[in-house]
Amino acid sequence: MRIARVTVAFLPLLLAACLSQSSAPSTAPANFSVTAGENRVVLSWDNEPGLSYWVYYKAGSSVTTGDHDFINTGYTSPAVITGLVNGTQYAFIVNASNNGSKTGPTTPVLTATPRLLGPSVPWTAGTQLSSNAINSVAFNNSNFVAVGDAATVFTAPYSYTSVGGVTAWTQATNLPIASGTNLRATLYDGSEFVLLGDDGSITITGDLVNWLARTAITGAPQMNALAYAGGPIYVAVGAGGKIYRNTASGLTSAWTEESSGTVQDLYGISYVNGLFVAVGANGTLLTSSDGIAWTAQTSNTNNSLRSVAYGIPTGGVGTYVAVGDAGTIVSSSDAVNWTPQTTIPTTQSLYSVCFGPDLQFIAVGTAGTIAYSTTGEDGSWSVGNSGSIDLYSIVPGNVFIAVGAAGSNVSGK
């Protein structure tokens, strides 16, 4: 429901007349964030059972429950606000009612300026973290964790007041990881960050202070990537087509090797749209619904694939996108029939791709290359640049953070 500003003067009376006397929520919605897109923003917060959420917003830098251009109700997080003007700043707040009660406290005001995050939008270079390569980065809506070679681990809280989304990174200490271990992947499983070493070592943390060793993948060649599905199901992939699966909460039991049906090196894996998708050397592309039975799909490329993402573009259908060497991009609507992009936007290798809350695909790669598409389809990609250093991983969140060679990190929002 959208109520124009002309009704604002009567809104308190209407609320008093219509809302019940149930107890109002005592706190504002937690972890409120705003991400800008093209003619839209995406609002997110922690949903709670039984609560109805109210979104207030107006053009400018401030908004209150009594001074707003629009009010929307009936939303759950994430909420997409459309019809906004690119280049115009908007301010947002959210509160909630409890089964028809009066509304409770509001969130702090957050602002966003709708625009298409593309080549014309500058990326902010962060302070060099290390001389070591940073191979992977993950986000849990509050904190970033970045991992790399020689057991390098950095953490940073998200800051909505910082231009780059991060005020400062802190190097983690007291890690139960051998100093020679190259950390290849990290993810957040809903309660803990999980780190994967190339030697099969597994490390977890729930508080970014206490780092705990968990059951390692033993007897494996180099491990490269890790994915998580609820259940829990963890799947790790590596050299020689190796795939390992673990279903223990907290990763306290041994990993089980599953048959991949290939000896090709596997470089990336994602759990997207209810499906595990693994990619690797010479165009290898495998899918599985459970991490046990794997089906080889024809990717229609012989170039190595490094990463895969899934998203539903504005007004479009769900699309899988895999990226790889020499600017390779292949896409599919069903994860079975894959179409190579013939209009290749770059010859630089692409190492990581994600679908962001601003409803577009972003891929990063060598020489600071950043490729963008609102649909993932052939001919829709454009290319920007964040510098000259290779980027190995990107994660969407309240900001996009990409990490890479020589401790590099860049952000866009």
12 with 84, same domain? yes
Whether omega before 78 lies within 30 degrees of 0, making that bond cis, reads: yes
According to the model, what pLDDT value does residue 217 have? 96
C-alpha 112/C-alpha 60 separation (Å) is 9
98 with 145, same domain? no
According to the model, what pLDDT value does residue 404 have? 97
According to the model, what pLDDT value does residue 314 have? 67
Mean pLDDT value of segment 87-106: 91
According to the model, what pLDDT value does residue 315 have? 64
188 with 39, same domain? no
Look at residue 389 and tell me whether its pLDDT is greater than 80: yes
- For residue 366, being part of any structural domain is answered with yes
Of 112, 135, 168, the domain-final residue: 112
- 389 is written with which tokens? 């250093």
- For residue 119, being part of any structural domain is answered with no
Greater confidence (343 vs 294) lies with 294
Of 112, 146, 164, the domain-final residue: 112
- For residue 252, being part of any structural domain is answered with yes
- For residue 327, being part of any structural domain is answered with yes
- For residue 238, being part of any structural domain is answered with yes
Of 43, 78, 112, the domain-final residue: 112
230 with 296, same domain? yes
Reported for 170-179, long-range contacts at CB under 8 A and 24+ positions apart, including other chains, are 171/129, 171/130, 172/208, 172/211, 174/211, 175/151, 175/203, 175/211, 176/203, 176/211, 176/212, 176/213, 177/151, 177/153, 177/201, 177/203, 177/211, 177/213, 178/151, 179/150, 179/151
Residue pair 214/252 in contact (Cβ under 8 Å)? The answer is yes
According to the model, what pLDDT value does residue 360 have? 85
251 with 331, same domain? yes
Q: Indicate which CATH number applies to the domain containing 47.
A: 2.60.40.10
Average pLDDT over the chain, rounded to an integer: 89
According to the model, what pLDDT value does residue 87 have? 79
Q: How do residues 118-175 score in pLDDT, each as one tens digit? A: 665 678 899 899 999 999 999 998 999 999 999 999 999 988 777 778 889 999 999 9
98 with 133, same domain? no
- Per mean pLDDT, which of 33-42, 73-82, 299-308, 379-388 is the most reliable? 299-308
According to the model, what pLDDT value does residue 16 have? 44
- For residue 298, being part of any structural domain is answered with yes
107 with 184, same domain? no
According to the model, what pLDDT value does residue 2 have? 42
Greater confidence (165 vs 14) lies with 165
| End-to-end Cα separation, the chain, in angstroms | 28
> Which structural domain range is residue 285 located in?
124-412
Give the pLDDT band of residue 303 (cuts 50, 70, 90): very high
106 with 132, same domain? no
Look at residue 234 and tell me whether its pLDDT is greater than 90: yes
Report pTM.
Answer: 0.76
In percent, the amount of the chain with pLDDT more than 90 equals 65
**Number of domains comprising the chain:** 2
- For residue 372, being part of any structural domain is answered with yes
72 with 192, same domain? no
Residue pair 170/156 in contact (Cβ under 8 Å)? The answer is yes
- Of 37, 104, 123, nearest to 65 (Cα)? 104
According to the model, what pLDDT value does residue 148 have? 98
Q: Indicate which CATH number applies to the domain containing 352.
A: 2.130.10.10
Greater confidence (406 vs 16) lies with 406
Residue pair 400/117 in contact (Cβ under 8 Å)? The answer is yes
According to the model, what pLDDT value does residue 40 have? 78
105 with 196, same domain? no
Greater confidence (204 vs 12) lies with 204
Look at residue 218 and tell me whether its pLDDT is greater than 60: yes
- For residue 117, being part of any structural domain is answered with no
58 with 129, same domain? no
152 with 33, same domain? no
According to the model, what pLDDT value does residue 135 have? 98
